[in-house]
Amino acid sequence: MDRHSRRSFLRLGGVVATGAMIPAYAAHTGIGRHEETASPKSASHPPADPLTALRHRWRDVTAGSGFDATAEPYRTRLARLGTRAAGYRDAMAPADASLWPGLPFPSLGATTARLRAMARAYALPGTGLTGDANLAAAVATGVDHYRRRVYAAGADQVGNWWHWQIGAPRNLLDAALLIGPHLTGPRAAALREAVDHFVPECRLDDYEGTSTGANRVDLCVVTLLRAVLGSDPAKVALAVSALSPVFPYVSEGDGFYRDGSFVQHTTVPYQGTYGASLLSGLATLFAVLRGSPWEVVDRERQVVFDSVERTFAPVVHDGSCMDLVSGRAVGRRPYGDHDRGRAIAAAILLLGETASAAERSRWQGMVKGWALRNTHRPMLDAAEEDDLGFHARLAAILDDDAVPAAEEPAGHRLLAMSARAVHRGPGWCAGLSMASHRIGHYEHGNGENLRGWHTGSGMLYWWADGHGDQYSDSFWTTVDPYRLPGTTVSTRRLADGAGEAWGDTCPPGRWVGGATDGAYATVGQHLNGFESTLEAFKSWFFLDDAVVCLGAAITATDGVPVETVVDNRRTGAPLVVDDGKGWAHLEGHGGYVLPCGTRLRTLREERTGGRERATRSYVTLWLDHGVDPVSAGYVYLLLPGASLAETRSRAADPGWARVLANSARCQGVRVPSLGITAVNFWNDGAAGDLAVSAPCAVLVRETGDGTATLTVSDPRRDLDELTVTWNRPVTGVSRGHPLLAGATTGARLTLTFGRLAGRGGGSNTVVVRLG
């Protein structure tokens, strides 16, 4: 269907439904139109019972609305849903140990998902089974049979708690609400009793354990559905009030951080999966409860709206969510990063319906830009497969010329509290994952991500034009897990699932983070190898067209070689290496510059892995530090997207980036053409024109207009005072900082900062006038 024809039936803003979809549903369920979608006459007579209105609203928001069921692609998708539901109905054969042959109990996920799909086919228009009483009766029978045989009050949980307290009850309650009067009386009461057994109200008493962050939101959703099924206004109020601990910023543990970090499982950055689930759940609850007596009005809910641009947008690149914030989920399936990005986009557009007009406008432009740039897994086509409501919203903004597509925002975002960094330059993007005393090396659990050991050892992801699927297409199941790009690792062999599960793999290193002025950044990691004696100091300096990478004091006694993996690209592209002149170039990807004479090891191989037994091509570049190195080091430049000529040119200009220091005391560079001096001080000391009184990160940028910015941070988060001296003439301070306790200008500049420890590793910028 072309864009002009779609405009005839799509409308964005609010939850909309066309006349083609409401009458059948209303006739068979007794549920009329929501006031936002009704005719003017009916809009003046909304349902008298607020709980009935919530049931209507839940169906509109979650089952799908805002599209014409007679138009493509909806007609085909709805018909397919109907065919699938009919197949489930016809194959249903309730028995002691199953509801469907070949799907033995408990089958908490698959069985309840089938019941929910059948209920959706009943509730949605155009399925061929809309309002079909026999289908609804089959759903009711299935729900009650499953409740009696598996999900019964008094039964014991077996296996993962999540399925019993979130996954299964949400599917069962959703199905019950969608079929309305076909599951009432004793059967509805028994289902409510079962849910109360597995999800008692006390689960919402304390904000701790498995009742935090995304899990808390999911538990509130289940509680809301249970309340609606039982017409229990007090329980609705509980579901809403129990959301409040999710909103405030946190300084440790699960939740949103002021710097944009989001953490789940205490030590795992998790904007992907858990974060997407949290955002989707809150967007759904805000939309369902809007205008009701239980509307979410907590003042701190603005944190959720702010998180769209502060927390989620930085880690979405052209519609895919970076794997560095997806924990154990990274290898679940090919293109999982695009699936997670699409889930975030869907949540953002739904959240926009309860946001301010200005926020909604910005978000629509942002999502539109993602969708237009995502050519590897087109977002609109994928949305057609799994979320018709999102498809309708996305199609509307794609067709709306008044919504400009936003470009990728240039600059740097340092998420210090989650040991992550994201940088965007012209035509490229990079993401960095590190481990610290508060963030684990990796997460495994439920048999997932068993070889992600080294993802926290400085893994540097990067995307150039045309390579948005670099880590999407079976990367995690085929890459060499000992040679992840950017990492410095001991090659000691590790067991699958080594270390504690659920991200409890934090090393002792505290100096992890850096400083950024929003455009450029200096980032560092005091690395303690995973289950290894390896120790090293690693720094990255993020610039316009390059990342300068330094390593120092690389030491280990594991009795095996230690390597720094310059890169490991999933490609079969030609590689050209000139050790004598200090450069390498990977066609169509980018270039690498190293000191002349550095021996760059390379390998081209085909690797096969995963359940699908996929085979992918790799080009690996690494530096061999030898067995049990003592104070080894490295220097190299990564040039994302650079041509062969550009790579040669940069290699021929060794003064472009000058290394000021590369030791266990500090690592720093000077880039004269950009006016940048950047140093990670692991201890007090001096490098170039900079001297400091304590461990810190310092980024200086001379802007060319007679001023300079000095940005400092306390990555260890323990400084009560810091003095920074810059050996340059300065006439005055143009803009200070609340923590700037003193400044001395003249032949050199001395700045004294107060308690940086309370800034969460955040950057603090002062602007000065040069002499």
Maximum pairwise Cα distance, the chain: 88
Alpha-helical (H) ranges within 605-752 are 644-651
What's the confidence (pLDDT) of residue 545? 97
Q: With pLDDT > 90 as the criterion, what percentage of the chain qualifies?
A: 90
| Cβ neighbours of residue 321 closer than 8 Å, sequence gap 6 or more | 271, 272, 276, 315, 337, 340, 341, 343, 344
User: Over the stretch 510-559, which tens digit does the pLDDT of each residue have?
Assistant: 999 999 999 999 999 999 999 999 999 999 999 999 999 999 999 999 99
Cβ neighbours, 10 Å, residue 120? 25
User: Over the stretch 206-230, which tens digit does the pLDDT of each residue have?
Assistant: 999 999 999 999 999 999 999 999 9
- Cβ atoms of 319 and 374 closer than 8 Å: yes
**16 — pLDDT class (breaks 50, 70, 90):** very low
Name the active-site residue from 56, 151, 215, 257: 215
Report whether pLDDT(415) > 80: yes
Q: CA angle 285-288-291, nearest 5°?
A: 115
**577 — pLDDT class (breaks 50, 70, 90):** very high
Burial 540-575 (b: 16+ CB within 10 A, else e): bbbbebbbbbbbbbbbbebebbbbbbbbbbbbeeeb
Name the active-site residue from 145, 182, 265, 585: 265
Name the active-site residue from 25, 146, 257, 274: 274
3-state secondary structure 616-637: EEEEEEEEEEEECCCCEEEEEE
Give the phi and the psi of residue 638 in degrees, each rounded to 5: -100, 130
Mean pLDDT value across the chain = 93
pTM above 0.75, yes or no: yes
Report whether pLDDT(479) > 60: yes
- Between CA 715 and CA 436 the distance in angstroms is 10
Q: With pLDDT > 70 as the criterion, what percentage of the chain qualifies?
A: 94
Strand order in the sheet with 268-269: 255-256, 262-264, 268-269
What's the confidence (pLDDT) of residue 2? 36
In this structure, the strands spanning 632-640 and 590-593 are antiparallel
What's the confidence (pLDDT) of residue 255? 97
User: Over the stretch 127-166, which tens digit does the pLDDT of each residue have?
Assistant: 999 999 999 999 999 999 999 999 999 999 999 999 999 9
**573 — pLDDT class (breaks 50, 70, 90):** very high
Query: Omega into 50 within 30° of 0, i.e. cis?
Result: no
DSSP 8-state code for residue 507: -
- Cβ atoms of 143 and 191 closer than 8 Å: yes
Active site residue 274: yes
What's the confidence (pLDDT) of residue 47? 61
- Between CA 724 and CA 540 the distance in angstroms is 21
**377 — pLDDT class (breaks 50, 70, 90):** confident
Cβ neighbours, 10 Å, residue 169? 27
Residue 725, CB half-sphere, CA atoms under 13 Å: how many?
14
What's the confidence (pLDDT) of residue 21? 33
Rg of the chain (C-alpha set): 28
**596 — pLDDT class (breaks 50, 70, 90):** confident
Q: Which of 612, 619, 629 is nearest to 568 (CA)?
A: 619
- Between CA 367 and CA 364 the distance in angstroms is 5
Chain position carrying tokens 């297409």: 473
Strand order in the sheet with 666-671: 658-662, 666-671, 676-681, 696-702, 707-713, 764-770, 730-735
Active site residue 680: no
User: Over the stretch 17-62, which tens digit does the pLDDT of each residue have?
Assistant: 333 333 233 333 333 322 333 322 333 455 669 999 999 999 999 9
- For residue 760 the two structure tokens come to 């969460």
Mean of the pLDDT values across residues 735-755? 96
What's the confidence (pLDDT) of residue 5? 34
Mean of the pLDDT values across residues 242-250? 98
Report whether pLDDT(455) > 90: yes
What's the confidence (pLDDT) of residue 46? 53
Report whether pLDDT(281) > 60: yes
User: Over the stretch 289-300, which tens digit does the pLDDT of each residue have?
Assistant: 999 999 999 999
What's the confidence (pLDDT) of residue 384? 73
The 3-state DSSP class for residue 526 equals strand
User: Over the stretch 42-51, which tens digit does the pLDDT of each residue have?
Assistant: 334 556 699 9
User: Over the stretch 558-567, which tens digit does the pLDDT of each residue have?
Assistant: 999 999 999 9
Would you say how long the chain is, in residues? 771
